[in-house]
Structure 1
Amino acid sequence: MPSNLSGDSLDGGVEVKDVLALIPILDSMPITDPNRIAMFGWSRGSMMSLIAVTKTNRIKTLVLGATPVDLVLSAINRPSLEHDVFKRLIPGYEFDKLALLEERSAIYWPEKIPKDISILMLHGTNDERTSIVPVFKFADTMKSLGVNIELKEFPSGSHTLIESKVSVYRKVLSWFNEHL
């Protein structure tokens, strides 16, 4: 079990706080509907979005692309992540690698994600950076917990899904129209 989901040690802790600081700004703007807040994140941004929704009940829906839900598996599949990303971005990584990776991996704490949120996950089956395998397990777990989640696979799709950008845009707009 993760050691500190709410602490500043989280990868991107300051970034998550910065994003959540936008909510009071939205509340003060007459052109926004503060009851219809969505988050859209890709890759690391989708991991941050999952962390963010554990800290507020204000997010109504998430759209997540190429989501690294299991950084432990990512470290095994892509050893270069340890030096290029994890050591650089995760404070204290060299002292407690496993716990810190689990702390940032939603697959280890699905019960912390609000049950009343809707989630759209977009993932290419040929994603060279983030395996879709744990995403299947994560989506199944979320469904079993009663979360409204849809996993949209893009056959032969890459990490960015650039080759399917029109389909991605249409799916995202449709999702927001339906869930906001």
Structure 2
Amino acid sequence: FDYMRTNGPLTERAAASVCFQLLSALDHCHECGVLHRDVKPENVLLARGEGDFGSIKLIDFGIASEHQPGVRSSTLCGTPLYLAPETLDGVWSPQADVWAAGVVSYAALCGVPPFWAETNEGIFRAIRSEPLRFASAAWLGVSEAAKDLVRSMLDKNPHRRITALQALGHRWFQEV
């Protein structure tokens, strides 16, 4: 997060590395029945390595919970810009973490989140109803494979949204 604030969007290669490692961490959490529930750039530590980036660490499991299918949460938790549409209705699943990772990936590639407004209510409205766009000039040099994966991670329907495990096999990671 600090790196992007200072230097702008990551290179596509660096963004792919971060996204792959983040999805790997989430897949491990989900295999263990754990939902992170607060995936955001501030909770992804980047360790500088040779080339673009070395490794990442997913931190801050303070609001993580055990996945309990069918159980609704009466408390809205997480960071507004990274909340999946279904979480606004109290539905938490591994797919909500994938959505948040998609928001992180989108921001890593272009420097801004996909859904924005001045207020939380406006952000929630945008998350629920605004279409995903790749319109800014920052997207001109980004591959179609990267856009395809981000689009799959940010599908508003959690039943159609790609899983962390499926995302790890996406062609983008082989192409960059």
User: TM-score surpassing 0.5?
Assistant: no
Which structure features the higher share of strand residues?
1
TM-score of the superposed pair, with normalisation by structure 1? 0.30
Give 1 or 2 for the bigger CA radius of gyration: 1
